[in-house]
Amino acid sequence: MGYESTVTSPVNIAVVKYWGKRNSELILPTNSSLSCTLSQDHLNTKTSIRASPSYTSDRLWLNGFEEDLYASARLTNCIRELRRLRKEKENELSSSDLASPENLEAAEHHVPPLSEWCIHVASENNFPTAAGLASSASGYAALVQALSNLYDLSISLTQLSMIARLGSGSACRSVYGGFVEWQAGILPSGEDSYAVSVAPETHWPTLQALILVVSDKKKSTPSTSGMSTTVKTSELFPIRISEVVPKRIIQMKEAILQRDFTKFALLTMKESNQFHAVCLDTYPPIFYMNDISRAIIKLVDLFNSQVDEITKKPKGIRVAYTFDAGPNAVIYAEKDVIKEFIELVMYFFPRGTGQTSNSFFPDPFGLL
Ligand code: DP6
């Protein structure tokens, strides 16, 4: 006897970055952020959860290796919240629901309700974990959706987003596809801090993301501790939060809704630059980009400065870069440009330029 649910969730890459918490337990951010959820055909986390009355403890496997599930308060917070909702549902069951096949089977075998069964969680990334490629986002989004399905909870995407947020801030955005805003909210309870859809993926189907894996090593400063030191020490940070980000969120939404690539690209690059400037302004400073990352920025700049040979007119801004908490670049470009840019990348950075290996870090929940 048992129930199983499997969910695959995509990663999202922020174009207006979340960096800083006002409450680190509830994972409430200092600012709103905006991201693009990538197609899950390429980068994703697949999570399967099985519940059985015969299991004696909750267990977790990450990329095939068993980890201590209870070592992560964030993971247990997400599971606890979903169990609470399941319990609520069980308490609310009307007499007709009590005659459902699952309850009849449970009654027949004298087993406790589903909310009390232990679970086994197996989660796999198809990309390097903790290398600044948003693995915790897809990891927690897949976990909460899989458990919510297993518990047959009819909860809204808003609620799911809030529960995923308890695992990792950026995970609340991976609940939606397309263009997504995480509204920071102001309430101490966090009830107004969740993601909303800005536009579906179909709104701008020609916009593509290219990931340049510079290194698949685990990042030197995890996002959680990095942003906490930034909040405490950076003098640029308060200006970013009060003056820069609120305007950028509005401008970025306009750029997306108008499918204005030049505006989108300029904002994305400036936003990435400022995020890394604030990291550098942190004490001790945080360096996420390396020499190859900076060379990629130069290459994007070179590409965007090209002049048409016949008309002698600038070709314009056709490619944008953004870097999260690691050296890997995410390039945004329209579909008809991406091939030309890849050719240039392959010319300057032949395969093997970066510090990549085939070793994946089995740690989407930040346990290691
Ligand atoms: C630079 O969501 O990984 O990628 O909430 O502490 O788990 P925690 O942090 P996390 O931070 C992501 C930071 C970022 C920017 C972003 O995705 O918005």
pTM, full prediction: 0.91
Quote the ligand 1 centre to 89 CA distance (angstroms).
32
Residue 360 has pLDDT above 60, yes or no: no
Q: How confident is the model at residue 65 (pLDDT cuts 50, 70, 90)?
A: very high
pLDDT, tens digit, for every residue of 163-175? 999 999 999 999 9
With a Cβ cut-off of 6 Å, ligand 1 is lined by 14, 17-19, 27, 33, 136, 168-170, 223-224, 324-325
Contact 12, 211 (CB under 8 A): no
Q: What is the DSSP letter of 361?
A: P
Res 361: pLDDT: 33
pLDDT confidence tier of residue 237, bands split at 50, 70 and 90: very high
- Are 301 and 320 in contact, with CB atoms under 8 Å apart? no
Q: Report the distance separating Cα 353 and Cα 262, nearest Å.
A: 29
Residue ID of nearest Cα to ligand 1 atom 7: 168
Ligand 1 pocket: which of 223, 273, 276, 293 to mutate (most atoms within 8 A of CB): 223
**How far lies 304's CA from each of 174, 271, 277, 317, 321, in Å?**
30, 17, 22, 5, 11
24-46: b or e for each residue (b if 16 or more CB lie within 10 Å)? eebbbbbbbbbbbbbebeebbbb
pLDDT band with cut points at 50, 70 and 90 for residue 117: very high
Among 248, 255, 250, which Cα is nearest to 273's? 248
The type of residue at 10 is P
For residue 197, what is the DSSP state?
Answer: E
- Can you tell me the mean pLDDT for 130-148? 84
First CA to last CA distance, the chain: 33
Q: Would you say residue 368 has pLDDT above 50? A: no
Rg of the chain over CA atoms, in angstroms? 22
Could you tell me what percent of the chain has a pLDDT over 90? 79
Report how far ligand 1's centroid is from the alpha carbon of 128 (Å). 16
Q: Which stretch of 83-87, 166-170, 234-238, 359-363 has the lowest confidence by average pLDDT?
A: 359-363
Query: 18-22, 140-144, 234-238, 325-329: lowest mean pLDDT where?
Result: 325-329
- Whole-number Å distance, alpha carbon 20 to ligand 1 midpoint, is 9
Distance 169 CA to ligand 1 centre (A): 6
Reference 17, options 324, 250, 286; nearest CA is 324
> What residues have CB less than 8 Å from 267, skipping those under 6 apart?
15, 16, 248, 251, 252, 255
pLDDT at 220: 79
Q: Which residue, among 188, 137, 198, has the nearest Cα to 164 in the 3D structure?
A: 137
- pLDDT of 61 > 90? The answer is yes
As for the ipTM of the complex, it is 0.99
> Residues 249-303: pLDDT tens digits?
999 999 999 999 999 999 999 999 999 999 999 999 999 999 999 999 999 999 9
Please provide the DSSP assignment of 78-110 as one string. HHHHHHHHHHHHHHH--HHHHTSHHHHHHHHTT
